[in-house]
Chain A
Amino acid sequence: MQPEKPVHLSTRLTSFAVALTMALAALGLRLWQLQVLQGDYYAQLADTNRLRIHHVAAPRGLVLDRRGTPLVLNRPAFSVSILPMELREPTRVLPDLARVLGISKEELWSRWERARSRPFEPVRVRRDVSMRVVTLLEERREELRGVQVEAEPVRVYPFGAAAAHVLGYLGEVSADELEALRPRGYRAGDLIGKAGVERSYDTVLRGDDGEQVVEVDVAGRPLRVLREQPGRPGNTLVLSLDWELQEEAERQLRGWSGAVVAMDPRTGEVLVMASSPSFDPNAFSVGISERQWRQLVQDRRNPLLNRATAAAVEPGSVFKVVTGLAALQEGRAGPASRFVCTGSLRLDRWVFRDLQAHGVVDFTTGVAQSCNVMFWMLGRSLGPERLATYARRLGFGQPTGVDLPLEATGVIPDADYKQRTWREPWYPGDTLNMAIGQGFVLVTPIQVARALSAVANGGLLVQPRLARAVLSPEGQVVRTFSPTVQGRVEFSPSALKALRRGLEAVVERGTGQAARVEGLRVAGKTGSAETPRGRPHAWFAGYAPAEDPRIVVVVLVEHGYRGGLNAAPIARAVLSRWWEGQRAGRREAGWAAR
């Protein structure tokens, strides 16, 4: 009844066993490959799964004026970012998030698209969200996987547009910048100084972000902090600005396009740097909108331009300081020289006309009255090369090296320049124009301030500087800045004396009387620079006290018509403010007294 076992059974079972053994051995080899040979690789992948590095944004450093007035601060706030690797359902989450944040779906989507190539780096999509949004997002954390809320301070400029060109503003680091800065710890979406001292001292102001290594589960819920490295706020930057003077200058410039620069001729410390029209840097702190940005850039008055350093214009009669100095130094004029001003000068076939005939003038009166005929004669006698040489010695035609980005160079023309730029030879008339700061001469207010400082301090070309000191977040002095002498102008004492007397006469009895300050001897030079673009620019460049100069003030009012009329009064306001302070013996508290 019981059937026999089949004959092949044992051989068949043996081959079955062999096949099984080989199959299991193959699995064992595969395990060896995964676990032993590639174990480290997979361990790393497992760590990427579970570890999140949270960056704890460190606040940027403060910016103070020389007395400790805070000019740039931070305010606690929250930012929303997305972590691409955890955003599993972008088609559902992103539109939802866009609605909550009140931004456009398309913008959010394109931000995410750009971020996908670096899935482990969170990308900020909105800064400074309201507490309502923070609560809403935290409540819906489960639904909105891949969306993060992080504390990130927001930059605040409490004085708004005042000194905005000096302070600058922040913007998201661009792809190009990031390439260079990544090794220094910058990450995509970081804010970086884009203008002003925010940019030139970015590395000083920037803090070191803290880092938290957090273990998360598959839903991205943080479970525990494995390692923590606290961040460090950025250093404080103390500027040489005197905020009282700055505000006075801003007030005076209101309604005009122009700039005011004041500096200490002995040290190069910039006390005032105002440029008008201005803009509100707060708009950039949370990411400026496309529309706002377009408005700023397309504004014909160019509010983003720092007219104190980045725009070179015709100096007009202010340039007579150069011509006068050259003439005195070269012996073409002396304190006792007399000139006959008929109101015009004939040069070959052309007649150069001045506004009025000053009659017989000495050098001092010629400066005081800004007599064009006298300076034409001096210029004709000096020739263009000497004029250019003196101008360059006084620092024109070269950037001053002020610690701000994007400085203009200006132009000191010569025959070569004219040939290159205009394809025309240098005519004698060009020399006459140059002697009174017209024609091709272009200067920036900061260059004028440096040149006049050299006249005021006896010949030192000092580098204008805004930074005064760097303090640690705890208030310890980390670094101070000492004056940098860039060159020395060799004045003969008599030439310098004669020039200064002329400049004093300008304010005493000449074109610059509107700059007079009770009890303070002010010296200076006005200018009304003709420009092809409209009414002449009004200039005033002066220093005080004349006997021991401690402040240089340069005012440029674009299309302000006459320097004596619209620029000198602004200088007067700034100087009398300064003088009040000096008389009150106001202590420069600032960082040193803290």
Chain B
Amino acid sequence: MGSALTADLRAARRRLRHVDWVLVACTLALVAVGTAAIASATATPEQPLGLLRPRLAHVAVGLAVLAGLAAVPYRSLGEAWRVLYGLSLALLALTDLVGRTALGAQRWLALGPVSLQPSELAKLGLVVTLAWFLSRRKEPPTRLPDLLPCLMLAGPPVLLVFLQPDLGSALAFVAVLLAMLWAAGVPRGQLAGLVAGGLLVSPLVWPLLKPYQRTRLLVFLDPGLDPLGAGYNLIQSKIAIGSGGLWGKGLFAGTQNTLQFLPMQHTDFVFSVIGEELGFVGAVGVLLLFWVFLLRVLQVASSARDAFGSYLCVGVAGLVAFHVLVNVGMTVGLAPATGIPLPFLSYGGTALVTHLAGVGLVLSVAVRRPKILF
């Protein structure tokens, strides 16, 4: 008994030593900055702290999920891929059928007082599924028939999300797929062919897009097209960030934010609030945190004990990287408005829990590494 206990303790201590504390610190710092920005973005005279309370609840749930997933041996998740994948598809299908509509899209499932955004959960479901699937192969999938199963796995969730319609999330799935295929060693030529094929098909998608989606894409190309309408968000976001200058206007003191010129300032445009109130220093600080975060995740990926662990980490890295690039790109006028949240920072329970869960997966891989690499 005693020796078993000490063995357990020793294992636990070894795992704790393997925890990537830099990764954890980056995650917590991003969550903290996001929480402050959300408080500032939602503060009103009646509610000086805005949506701080529900945000903290989301954070608490998210951290619990993170810790839980870090403790669970990740291989068991891979073995349960059918359940995860099936559940993802089921929830997405349900959302398309009975989901709650907001902002012109049907993205939420109401579960009593909580509303769930299944597309976020499905992203992680796809990461686990693809990682498992790719890791089962001995050789990298080099020929088109080898790629087909992956494409067939990724296809249904992309389609279901696209139908909501949520073009941004659909593209997120594609980005995750590409990142994982890249890591799995698919030859450059094949990946390039895949991307080229996708681009060739995209004009066929144009007629399927809702008018507001087309406008968004056109407005991205020329925000002056409709400065008071569809281009308004992009222009106001640039004004917010630009006017922040080097040091920012101070938390709770951004005029674009507090006077509501900035739309959706606690969700999709939370980065604009940071840019305005914390300035270039704060905004670049956030980018640096993401950079360190992503490098650490890739570090875990390369030191994982097995291919499945590596692919899991790459999937999470691809997911976070896509969201960061597209979201920040949108706020600074380099990408079209697609309604993609900024990981760890945007207000939104499901997205936060999903991304923290992703970190949990990475930690689960990290603590089960064979040896410390630094």
Q: Chain A: residues with CB nearer than 8 A to chain B?
A: 2-10, 12-13, 16-17, 20-21, 23-24, 26-28, 30-32, 34-36, 38-43, 45-47, 49-50, 88, 215-219, 223
* Inter-subunit contact B306/A20 (CB<8 Å): no
Q: Chain B: residues with CB nearer than 8 A to chain A?
A: 135-138, 140, 179, 182-185, 228, 236, 238-246, 255-256, 259-261, 275-276, 279-280, 283-284, 287, 290-291, 294-295, 298, 301-302, 304, 306-307, 310, 314, 317, 321, 324-325, 328-329, 332-334
A178–B33 Cα distance when bound, in Å, is 52
Q: Which residue of B lies closest to A88 (CB)?
A: B228
A38–B242 Cα distance when bound, in Å, is 7
* Inter-subunit contact B239/A42 (CB<8 Å): yes
* Inter-subunit contact A17/B295 (CB<8 Å): yes
* Inter-subunit contact A43/B242 (CB<8 Å): yes
A550–B135 Cα distance when bound, in Å, is 118
* Inter-subunit contact B283/A45 (CB<8 Å): no
Beyond contacts A6-B140, A49-B259: 14 other A-B pairs, Cβ-Cβ < 8 A, are A3-B135, A6-B184, A13-B183, A27-B334, A30-B334, A34-B238, A35-B246, A39-B245, A39-B246, A39-B280, A49-B236, A50-B261, A88-B228, A216-B259
Contacts A31-B275, A45-B243, A217-B259; is A3 near B136 (CB within 8 Å)? yes
* Inter-subunit contact A8/B294 (CB<8 Å): no
Cβ contact of A10, chosen from B279, B302, B328, cutoff 8 A? B302
Could you say which of A2, A16, A47 has the most chain B C-beta atoms within 10 Å of its C-beta?
A16
A8: B residues at CB distance < 8 A: 140, 185
Min CB–CB distance A295 → chain B (angstroms):
41
A46: B residues at CB distance < 8 A: 239-240, 242-243, 255-256, 261, 276
A21–B136 Cα distance when bound, in Å, is 30
Cβ contact of B284, chosen from A2, A12, A31, cutoff 8 A? A31
Min CB–CB distance A123 → chain B (angstroms):
18
Min CB–CB distance B324 → chain A (angstroms):
8
A153–B236 Cα distance when bound, in Å, is 37
Min CB–CB distance A94 → chain B (angstroms):
15
Interface residues of B: mostly helix, strand, loop or mixed?
A: helix
A2: B residues at CB distance < 8 A: 306
Cβ contact of B294, chosen from A4, A17, A219, cutoff 8 A? A17
Q: Which residue of A lies closest to B243 (CB)?
A: A46
A13–B309 Cα distance when bound, in Å, is 13
* Inter-subunit contact B287/A27 (CB<8 Å): yes
Could you say which of A2, A20, A43 has the most chain B C-beta atoms within 10 Å of its C-beta?
A20
* Inter-subunit contact A24/B291 (CB<8 Å): yes
* Inter-subunit contact B185/A5 (CB<8 Å): no
B183: A residues at CB distance < 8 A: 6, 9, 12-13, 16
Q: Which residue of A lies closest to B320 (CB)?
A: A20
* Inter-subunit contact B284/A20 (CB<8 Å): no
B246: A residues at CB distance < 8 A: 35-36, 39
A10–B287 Cα distance when bound, in Å, is 24
A218–B257 Cα distance when bound, in Å, is 10
* Inter-subunit contact A31/B302 (CB<8 Å): no
Would you mind naming 16 contact pairs between A and B with Cβ atoms under 8 Å apart? A5-B310, A6-B183, A9-B302, A10-B302, A13-B314, A20-B294, A20-B317, A21-B295, A27-B287, A31-B275, A39-B244, A39-B246, A42-B239, A45-B239, A88-B228, A223-B259
Q: Which residue of B lies closest to A27 (CB)?
A: B328
Could you say which of A23, A24, A36, A219 has the most chain B C-beta atoms within 10 Å of its C-beta?
A24
Contacts A12-B183, A30-B334; is A35 near B259 (CB within 8 Å)? no
Cβ contact of A31, chosen from B136, B280, B298, cutoff 8 A? B280
A27: B residues at CB distance < 8 A: 287, 325, 328-329, 332, 334
Min CB–CB distance A89 → chain B (angstroms):
9
* Inter-subunit contact B185/A7 (CB<8 Å): yes
* Inter-subunit contact B301/A49 (CB<8 Å): no
B324: A residues at CB distance < 8 A: 24
Min CB–CB distance A52 → chain B (angstroms):
12
* Inter-subunit contact A6/B307 (CB<8 Å): yes
A223–B261 Cα distance when bound, in Å, is 14
A31: B residues at CB distance < 8 A: 241, 275, 280, 283-284, 287, 332
* Inter-subunit contact B243/A43 (CB<8 Å): yes
B260: A residues at CB distance < 8 A: 217-219
A35: B residues at CB distance < 8 A: 241-242, 244-246, 275, 279-280, 283
B325: A residues at CB distance < 8 A: 23-24, 27
A31–B241 Cα distance when bound, in Å, is 8
Min CB–CB distance B192 → chain A (angstroms):
14
A32–B284 Cα distance when bound, in Å, is 9
A31–B294 Cα distance when bound, in Å, is 20
Cβ contact of B307, chosen from A5, A10, A40, A216, cutoff 8 A? A5
Q: Which residue of A lies closest to B258 (CB)?
A: A217
* Inter-subunit contact B179/A3 (CB<8 Å): no
Q: Which residue of A lies closest to B248 (CB)?
A: A35
A216–B244 Cα distance when bound, in Å, is 19
Contacts A3-B306, A16-B317, A17-B294; is A9 near B185 (CB within 8 Å)? yes
Cβ contact of A42, chosen from B243, B291, B321, B328, cutoff 8 A? B243
Q: Which residue of B lies closest to A31 (CB)?
A: B283
Could you say which of A27, A28, A38, A216 has the most chain B C-beta atoms within 10 Å of its C-beta?
A27
Q: Which residue of A lies closest to B254 (CB)?
A: A46
A3: B residues at CB distance < 8 A: 135-138, 306-307
A41: B residues at CB distance < 8 A: 242
* Inter-subunit contact B314/A43 (CB<8 Å): no
* Inter-subunit contact A21/B291 (CB<8 Å): yes
* Inter-subunit contact A30/B332 (CB<8 Å): yes
B259: A residues at CB distance < 8 A: 49-50, 215-218, 223
Q: Which residue of A lies closest to B281 (CB)?
A: A35
Min CB–CB distance A27 → chain B (angstroms):
5
Min CB–CB distance B238 → chain A (angstroms):
6
Contacts A20-B321, A35-B246; is A49 near B279 (CB within 8 Å)? no
A36–B242 Cα distance when bound, in Å, is 8
A232–B62 Cα distance when bound, in Å, is 62
* Inter-subunit contact A13/B261 (CB<8 Å): no
A12–B313 Cα distance when bound, in Å, is 13
A49: B residues at CB distance < 8 A: 236, 239, 255-256, 259, 261
Min CB–CB distance A119 → chain B (angstroms):
10
Q: Which residue of A lies closest to B318 (CB)?
A: A16
* Inter-subunit contact A20/B280 (CB<8 Å): no
A6–B137 Cα distance when bound, in Å, is 9
A203–B228 Cα distance when bound, in Å, is 40
* Inter-subunit contact B332/A34 (CB<8 Å): yes
A2–B256 Cα distance when bound, in Å, is 54
Q: Which residue of A lies closest to B325 (CB)?
A: A23
Contacts A8-B185, A20-B294, A34-B332; is A39 near B243 (CB within 8 Å)? yes
Contacts A6-B185, A9-B310, A49-B256; is A32 near B298 (CB within 8 Å)? no
A554–B314 Cα distance when bound, in Å, is 104
B276: A residues at CB distance < 8 A: 46
* Inter-subunit contact A17/B298 (CB<8 Å): yes
Cβ contact of A45, chosen from B242, B284, B291, cutoff 8 A? B242
